[in-house]
Every structure is written in C-alpha cells, then in structure tokens.
Amino acid sequence: MKLNKWIAVLATSVAMPLMANAAELEVTHWWTSGGEAAAVAEFAKAFDATGNKWVDGAIAGSGDVARPIIISRILGGNPMGATQLNPGKDADDLIAAGLMQDLTELAVAEDWANILRPKSQLESCTKDGKVYCVPVNLHSGQWMWTNRKVYEDAGIAPPQNWAEMIAAAPALKEKGIIPLSLAEGWPVGLLTEDLIVAIAGVDNYVAVYQDRNMELARGPEFAAVFKAIDEARQIIDPKTVVPQWNDAVALVIQGKAAANVMGDWAGGEFAVAGMVAGKDFDCLPGLGVEPVLGTGGDVFYFPKSDDPEVTKAQFAMASMMVTKEVQVAFNLKKGSLPMRADVDLSAANDCMKKGLEILDKGTKVFPNNSQMIDRDSLNQINDVMKEFFSDLSITPEAAQEQFAAIIEAAPK
C-alpha cells in the first residue's frame, strides 16, 4: 500500500510538466447573486473542460464597484486573464492604449459577424475594424416584475403596466405592502431610463442619449418623464430602500413588495426561487407600456498578456463562450438572451420567450446607454437621479434641467 502511494506521487510529478500547456485564467466579473453565480458556474465548467483553469475573481457589489477595480488593475499592470464589462465605451481608452487582446483572428475564423445577433453588440466590440471583446448575452433593463399573489390577495387585478401599478399603490400601502421596491444606487438610474423609454418613447430616448437633442431633453416629453419619477418617489418609503438590486427583487419574491423595476437578470432570481412566469409573477417588458428591448448585456475583454500560454487560453475562453451549448446553458441560468439565433431555447421561460419575440421582430430594439454615452456622464446622471429620489424638496423641473445640462456637456 505504502509503495503504491509513492508510485502515485512519483507518477504525478512526472505527469505534471506534461499538463503544463494549460493555463490558469483569473476572470473578474460582478455576478454574485444566486442566479448569476449559477450562470458563471456554467462558464467555469466549460472552460475547465478545455483543459485550462477558471480562477473566479468575483467582485461583490455592482458594476459601479467593480469597474474601477477592473480598470485600475489593467492600468496598473496587474491584469486579470479575462474580465466582464458592459458593451460600449467603457474600455475605449484601454483599447486605444493597446492594453487589450485583439480577437479579430478568432472572430473571423468562427464567423462571429454572422452567427451573433443583433449586430450592434459585435459592433460595440469592434474598434477600427478589429474585434476586442466577445459578447456573451443580451440583457434588457426595461422590465417590471410583479408578484401576482400579492395583488390578488389585496383584491386588485395584477397590473399590466406602469400606470396600473402606480394606481394600485395606495391600497397596498394600507395593507403594509411595499408597492414598489427599490435598491440604493444605480437601480435608481435604471428606473429613470426605463421611464424615459416607457413614457417619452424609444425614439426620443435615443434622440437625447445618442444624438443629444437638447430641445427634446428640456421639452415637455421629458418633463412628463420627470413627473412620473416624481410620482414614483412619492410612493416609496425611504425606510424600505434596500442596498442591493437582488434584495429589492427578493422583496417581491417573498411577497413583501408588490413590484420592482429591474432588468431581465431579475428573471434568474425568480427562477432560483422556483416561481413560474405568468402564474406566480408577471414580467412586463417596457414596463408594460410598450414591449421594447434594450441591447444591454455583458461582454468579455481579454487584457493583453506576454505569456503565449495565457493568450492561447484567452482565445480558448473566447471561443468557448459563443459555442451553442455554453450559450444555452449560461443564458438559461442567467435569464438573459443568447447571442446566437441558432440555438434550441425550448427550455426558456416565458419571460425569455417574450424577449426573444421582440428581438426577432427587431423593430423595438435599441442601443444600451453605455453604447451611446460615456460612463462618466452616466454616473453624473445617476447622481442627479439619486438625489432627486431621496430629496423631495428637489422639483421635477430642477432635476430635468440638471439632467439636460449633463447630456449637453457629455463628450460626443
């Protein structure tokens, strides 16, 4: 027995160098909620199967917490193997400085331009004709989630749009139920943009964020948006504002709150809780006003490395992320839409199917905020909206003017 052990040890020491062509890649991301963690595990499993090793570098909090850490590490010369970011302008400066791995070779070989849709996502990854990131999923932020049972118990028909939700609020409040749950920080900014899309309309949203139409930003369409936000902040008790988006979704799942506005990633939380769309809860794209789909989502960048083994592993990871099996497994857990049209999604839940339907029609698909405007300006808008939400003495008119001023000053 003892001898066997020794032989095993010796054998491993001989075998180890042979396996050394595999690399360990540290992957940073901010997917830490239940549904998100389950989705990441799918990536890790598939990557480990290629013979490399996925070293998880989850950063708790949100993109706002993770982005500075990720960018400072790349700038500081201590890059990770791969990192999640949002599509758009976030990594522009890093690409310009030559800090990111060029994936064009792989993208051409695997014909990403034709297998991935919508086109906007790969275009966001492309700078000067070169591909620098791999889009892994499509997320839209414009969803309202309602707990049907809460409304039924209160004798109210489950609302099918934003206005009905607001109208039902007083009756729910009397019963001690939070009519609309909200999380501190960026979810306030998300709610704002969702209301812009729902109330001012997709075209006006893009006209202001992308084309910087200042007349519109200061005009009556947007004044109506700020009126709606004003209504929303009146029904939200500051004591019920929770720290994280998934806490706010959990309140709806537990029946303590009736509704929440959050992206389709909230679907993953409902799935983890075993709730069924259409029966236990409703998911309303475009806040039920008009079914629309923002092309937010997640992309992976690969900081350049001197080590050819690492570069090889990075290409392996990028390739793995867009394979059919991984796309299905990952996106079902994540509650997001896959980048490929040619995959079997019979296992998708009702919410995802609603999203796919809008995506296939393609008419009400519009770019994500980070594809239209720089992160610095988005953060400033968030600051304005956070203040507006928590300080009732700020008038909707004042908030609208501050918002417009930031849009006006934003670099093109």
Question: How far is C-alpha 40 from the chain's CA centre?
Answer: 14
The answer to the question of residue 30 lying near other proteins (CB under 8 A) is: no
In whole angstroms, the minimum distance from the beta carbon of 14 to other proteins comes to: 45
The answer to the question of residue 254 lying near other proteins (CB under 8 A) is: no
Scanning residues 181 to 200, which ones bind other proteins (CB under 8 A)?
A: 184-185
Measured from the CB atom, is 105 or 376 closer to other proteins? 376
Cβ 222 vs Cβ 196: under 8 Å: yes
The answer to the question of residue 247 lying near other proteins (CB under 8 A) is: no
The answer to the question of residue 238 lying near other proteins (CB under 8 A) is: yes
The answer to the question of residue 203 lying near other proteins (CB under 8 A) is: no
What is the rounded distance in angstroms from the CA atom of residue 273 to the CA atom of residue 62? 21
The answer to the question of residue 210 lying near other proteins (CB under 8 A) is: no
The answer to the question of residue 358 lying near other proteins (CB under 8 A) is: no
Burial of 163 (0-12, 13-18, 19+ CB in 10 A): middle
CB atoms within 10 A of CB 155: 8
What is the rounded distance in angstroms from the CA atom of residue 276 to the CA atom of residue 299? 28
Give Cβ neighbours of residue 245 (< 8 Å, ≥ 6 apart).
33, 62, 183, 186, 187, 262, 266
Segment lying near other proteins (by CB under 8 A), choices 77-85, 232-240, 257-265, 287-295: 232-240
Q: Which residues pair with 126 in a beta bridge?
A: 131
The answer to the question of residue 75 lying near other proteins (CB under 8 A) is: yes
Measured from the CB atom, is 40 or 258 closer to other proteins? 258
In whole angstroms, the minimum distance from the beta carbon of 383 to other proteins comes to: 5
Measured from the CB atom, is 90 or 164 closer to other proteins? 90
Among 148, 218, 333, 375, binds other proteins (CB under 8 A): 375
Measured from the CB atom, is 11 or 97 closer to other proteins? 97
Q: How far, CA to CA in Å, does 365 sit from each of 191, 203, 273?
A: 18, 10, 29
In whole angstroms, the minimum distance from the beta carbon of 97 to other proteins comes to: 5
What is the rounded distance in angstroms from the CA atom of residue 312 to the CA atom of residue 320? 12
Among 105, 360, 391, 397, binds other proteins (CB under 8 A): 391
The answer to the question of residue 258 lying near other proteins (CB under 8 A) is: no
Among 389, 399, 403, 404, binds other proteins (CB under 8 A): 389
The answer to the question of residue 209 lying near other proteins (CB under 8 A) is: no
The answer to the question of residue 67 lying near other proteins (CB under 8 A) is: yes
Among 376, 395, 397, 408, binds other proteins (CB under 8 A): 376
Measured from the CB atom, is 88 or 141 closer to other proteins? 88
The answer to the question of residue 48 lying near other proteins (CB under 8 A) is: no
The answer to the question of residue 255 lying near other proteins (CB under 8 A) is: no
The answer to the question of residue 230 lying near other proteins (CB under 8 A) is: no
Measured from the CB atom, is 81 or 187 closer to other proteins? 187
The answer to the question of residue 249 lying near other proteins (CB under 8 A) is: no
Residues that bind other proteins in the complex, under the rule CB under 8 A: 64, 67-69, 71-72, 75, 89-90, 92-94, 96-97, 184-185, 238-241, 243, 374-376, 379-380, 383, 386-391
